[in-house]
Structure 1
Amino acid sequence: MSRANGIATGVDGGERDRGHPRVVVVGGGFAGFHAAKSLGRRLGGAAEVVLVAPTDYFLYLPLLPEVAAGILEPRRITVSLAATLPGVRLVLGNVDRIDVEGREVSLVNPEGERYDLGYDRLVLAAGSVNKLLPVPGVPEHAHGFRGVPEAIYLRDHLVRQVELAAGTDDPAECRARCTVVVVGAGYTGTEVAAHGKLFTDALARVHPSLGPHPVRWMLLDLAPRVLPGLDEHLASTADSVLRERGVDVQMGVSIDEATREGVRLTTGEEVGTRTIVWCVGVRPDPLIESLGLPTQQGRLTVGENLTVPGHPEIVACGDAAAVPDRTRPGKLTAMTAQHAVRQGTLAGRNVAASLRGKRLRRYRHHDLGFVVDLGGSDAAANPLGLRLSGLPAKVVTRGYHLLSMPGNRLRIAVDWALDAVQSRQSVQLGLLRSSEVPLDTATPELTRHAVPVAREHS
């Protein structure tokens, strides 16, 4: 029997030898974090609660665009799992196999070692990964935006492209390096384009040799408008802000092919670029498909109490679960953090109740609204149906983020204050190269960063 991080693995290892049930939570994103927090608070020492996650931190995805734009330092939006989850043991690793009948998960830790971990109850909060489409060249030449490494890489890459453009005498190369193509005008793509345009405009101002070649941002989507599926107020506000800043917003358009030199649009237009940001959405973690259990839209089928039919010892929540939306009969809850947070909390509550023989609750939650940070003093929000834009929306947006963060609030507020009175640092750190953040193996995070006012980005 092997041991991982001091936890005996195997069906009968560790605390279970002393009669304590073991609850394993797979995933440390919005749903997994809140499930583990709920379990630790409710079970105390009555059960061993184990959280299996690929990193030792909870990532607050909604603020990731501000890391890429140089507003926030990366550690500001990462919160230690061990420090914020008392009573929960952390096992670092990626779960790649679950033996449903044998009640055992198999994981590989960051050093490539494999371990097996038995459970009495399992909370599946594996989240989502980048959605790939069959577009030639995209896996090789585009980059996603789902984690800290990708945000750090994009920031360095944008700085590098502007500096290289300023140093070349070739007008075509200059235009290509000063062109950024964002594919996908959903939550992530819209915020990346909004923050990114302000960032590169500031970079370009310190390179007067760029002359008549400002940095061009293109935002593409096959949908008829930006932020498809969200409130019209949010969409129209975001669209207006983007266009006023000079972002080339093209709806009903995507890319047919990506190469090292540029992209070919579905309109047939060839665009030279060295920067393709892939934000077309997310899909449930492939782990869900491997279980051999019923799914809906790629998400694990669960009942209204989040348990898996035929397997009451398993509950699923967040992007991994096809949770019936009781506020919209016949529909599934959206893949947002707003739902993930609440489902995770309920998952922890129901698991604790099942161990004590108590009644399980059903999931029901109405969306409370969304906030969209558009950089600068611009934002859009509709808390409880109240339509806000500009500075009032900005205040609501930032206030909501601070309240939702499980830590680092003061550090984030200080970074925001400094950004308001000082210019951003614009040097490359050189920590990551393109090959280190491939799109097809991007680190999975747990929820899409659509951010509701009880907010969700993925």
Structure 2
Amino acid sequence: MSRPRVVIVGAGFAGYQTARTLARLTRNKADIVLLNPTDYFLYLPLLPQVAAGVLEPRRVTVSLTGTLPGVRLVLGEADDIDLEARTVHYTDPEGDGGTLSYDRLVLAVGSVNKLLPVPGVAEHAHGFRGLPEALYLRDHVTRQIELAAAADDYKNRSSRCTFVVVGAGYTGTEVAAQGQLFTDELVRKQPLREGMRPRWLLLDVAPRVLPELDERLSSTADRVLRERGVDVRTGTSVEEATSTGVRLSDGEFVDTRTLVWCVGVRPDPLVAGVGRPMERGRLLVDPYLQVPGHPEVFACGDAAAVPDLEKPGEYTAMTAQHAWRHGKVAGHNVAASLGVGTRRVYRHRDLGFVVDLGGVKAAANPLGIPLSGPLAGVVTRGYHLAAMPGNRVRVAADWILDAVLPRQGVQLGLVRSWSVPLESASPELARVAGGPEKRAGATGGDGSPADTGTAGPGGSGPARMSKAEASAVRDPGNRPAPEPDALAARDPDAPRAPDPGRPAGPDGSRPGSDSGRPAGAAPDSPAFRGPAEQAGPHPDKPTAPGPVRPVEGES
């Protein structure tokens, strides 16, 4: 008798924990298949430390095959789900299609960057939700400091030394805090003229930073940021982003080459394509994490609207804590549906929050006890080490080395601006010129903290199309990856001639993406509550207003 097959789509916090829990409970009694575009689980909370040069990139990536025994990894991105046929169609990294049949399905596709209808944001801002975006930001910031140190024009130096972060939630606050320390370290090696110092602006329409947290944590973070030199502006939004700066809601124009978009996330639009009831872009499930009408289908993480039994009438927030716990319950319930154990409803109790502010500073409230300063820093790092499913020794070693050795302020040049567009549906993957076609037909959502969208058509394999057609279909912004010569005209660091080892041509955004900007949702609607809704110019962005883009929901 063949083993029942369980297909898990996505290996973020929810998907990874589901696979781990299910493999432990079933003990090879089920064929567990994990479909994911990368071969690693990304520990998102430490991504700002990668961008700031504290941690090496591989430290925050945990091998799926190395830590999930009994789980079969299939590299690819789901682009169509047929609930009636019980199949999942996907496209692999080389553009070939495949189909997985299932007896049980777990949708844990996570979330993507949330866009707002602000002119110029899609063209000139980068996000912060994937490793490519963190690597790009690290190189970009380093380059701006180096160029500013060699520039003769004051305005040019000032613009390059100004970094704008939009959204003062978890990600934006940590990016600004780590970024200020990183650029101050770079300036010690590349002294700026006339006593100029790197300037970081943190913007949000909310009345305070970290608006979703306790006011004491918020005030601690605000104080640390201001003492460090970060220009925190609450109640402020971006009205327009250009290649040379951003115009704020108070009328001020800030000259800058860097705009980091951290205004929040929205559910991956793939779930909207299953044709089941949605809640603000998230797939509705019952307290057992099952999709009503399809008991063989489970959903968890950011893409699932899970009833909050502690707050009747509400749904759990899109956070890493909830996603991790969702995964554990989903694993138990899938196993129970196969005759192993009993199922359980999802309940939670907040254990507190931690916010790493760089150096020895942090803000934390474990078990409701507010902490700040070095003690909070110890608790925060201890929490991350305990939560990480791997690489703990390597992460701790990097922290020790960072405390005693200077950071290496060098560019790796691995990720270009156009390869991490803000509208990308797959922030975990960098776009590659001339790359394979992926999930065709993916479009953006309808706005709200979680946008909806439509998934591309399924089939036995992707239809072949021209590069231009593939780019227009796959990239929600209809923006093909630039040809080498065209890129050189916009990006001074780009090669002027085609790389003989790599085809030059358009590349689309990843399959099943939610790369559209929210349509029809007002900026002051609940969907956009929390982080700021603005964006600013990007230092590595093309000087011409041509389209291009990139990274943290804390889940």
TM-score range, shorter chain: over 0.9
Partner residue of 2:371?
Answer: 388
The 5-angstrom pairing of residues 278-293 of structure 1 reads 278-293=261-276
Higher strand share: 1
Amino acid at match of 1:177: R
Q: Which amino acid in the other structure matches residue 251 of structure 2?
A: G
Partner of 1:35: 18
Aligned ranges 1:133-282 → 2 under 5 Å: 133-282=116-265
| In 2, Cα distance between equivalents of 1:357 and 1:199 | 50
Runs of 5+ consecutive residues of structure 2 not aligned to the other structure? 429-449, 451-529, 531-552
Gaps of 5+ in 1: 1-17, 451-455
Instruction: Give, in whole Å, the separation in 2 of the partners of 1:442 and 1:412.
Output: 29
Could you say if the C-alpha distance between residues 457 and 357 of structure 1 is closer, same or farther in structure 2, counting changes exceeding 3 Å?
closer
Letter in structure 1 aligned against 2:26: L
Corresponding residue of 2:385:
402
- Residue of structure 2 aligned with 1:92, choices 75, 81, 84: 75
Does 1:72 pair with 2:55?
yes
Superposed CA offset, 1:264-284 (max 9, x none)? 111111111000000000000
CA–CA distance in 2 between the matches of 1:414 and 1:310?
A: 49
Stretch deviating more after TM superposition (240-249 or 350-359): 350-359
> What do residues 392-438 of structure 1 show as CA deviations (whole Å, max 9, x unaligned)?
10110111111111111111111100111111010111111101111
* Letter paired with 1:285: D
Question: Over residues 335-382 of structure 1, what are the superposed CA-to-partner deviations in whole Å (9 max), with x where a residue is unaligned?
Answer: 111111111011011011011176421110011100000001100100
Q: Which residue of structure 2 aligns with residue 10 of structure 1?
A: none
Offset, 1:316:
0.6
- How many Å apart are 1:110 and its aligned residue? 0.4
* Mapped contact 1:65–1:151 kept (Cα < 8 A): yes
Give the Cα separation in 2 of the matches to 1:154 and 1:358: 46
Note the C-alpha offset of 1:19.
2.3
**What are the superposed Cα offsets for residues 18-70 of structure 1, whole Å, 9 maximum, x if unpaired?**
52211000000000000000111111221100000010000000000000000
Q: Secondary structure at the match of 1:267?
A: coil
Q: Is the 8 A contact 1:144 1:442 kept in 2?
A: no
Q: Displacement of 1:248 after TM fit?
A: 0.7
| Counterparts of 1:209 and 1:86, CA distance in 2 | 52
Q: Counterpart of 1:339? A: 322
SS at the partner of 1:412?
Answer: helix
Where does residue 308 of structure 1 map in the other structure?
291
1:51 maps to: 34
Instruction: Decide whether the 8 Å contact of 1:204 with 1:210 is kept in 2.
Output: no
How much does 1:212 deviate?
2.7
SS at match of 1:96: strand
1:288-344, Cα deviation, whole Å (9 max, x unpaired): 111111011211100011101101001111101100111111111111111111110
Is residue 146–residue 442 contact of structure 1 (8 Å, CA) maintained in 2?
no
Matched length: 433
Q: CA deviation at 1:170?
A: 1.0
AA aligned to 1:139 is: A
Query: How much identity, in percent, do the aligned residues show?
Result: 67
Instruction: Give the partner amino acid of 1:381.
Output: A
Q: Which moved more, 1:302-311 or 1:359-368?
A: 359-368
Aligned counterpart, 1:5: none
**Structure-2 separation of matches of 1:177 and 1:357:** 59
Would the aligned equivalents of 2:125 and 2:261 in 1 still touch at CA under 8 Å? yes
Does the 8 A contact of 2:332 with 2:342 survive in 1?
no
CA distance in 2: counterparts of 1:317 and 1:432, whole angstroms:
31
- TM-score relative to the length of structure 2: 0.77
Q: Give the whole-Å Cα distance in 2 for the aligned partners of 1:56 and 1:336.
A: 22
Partner amino acid, structure 1, of 2:97 = R
1:201/1:357 CA distance change after superposition, 3 Å: closer
1:127–1:444 contact (8 Å) kept in structure 2: no
- TM-score normalised by length of structure 1: 0.93
Rounded to whole Å, the distance in 1 between the matches of 2:330 and 2:425 is 27
The match for 2:462 is none
Change (3 A) 1:444 1:172: closer
Looking at structure 1, the residues matched to 191 and 330 of structure 2 have their Cα atoms a distance apart, in angstroms, of 56
Give the counterpart letter for 1:20 in structure 2.
R
Determine if contact 1:146/1:443 at 8 Å carries over to the other structure: no
What residue in structure 1 maps to residue 347 of structure 2? 364
Amino acid at match of 2:336: A
CA–CA distance in structure 1, aligned partners of residues 246 and 55 of structure 2: 31
Superposed displacement of residue 457, structure 1: 3.1
CA distance in 2, matches of 1:73, 1:333: 32
Partners of 2:318 and 2:554 within 8 A in 1:
no
- 8 Å CA contact 2:136, 2:416 repeated in 1: yes
SS at match of 1:441: coil
Higher deviation after alignment, 351-360 or 285-294: 351-360
- Tell me the CA shift for residue 82 of structure 1: 0.5
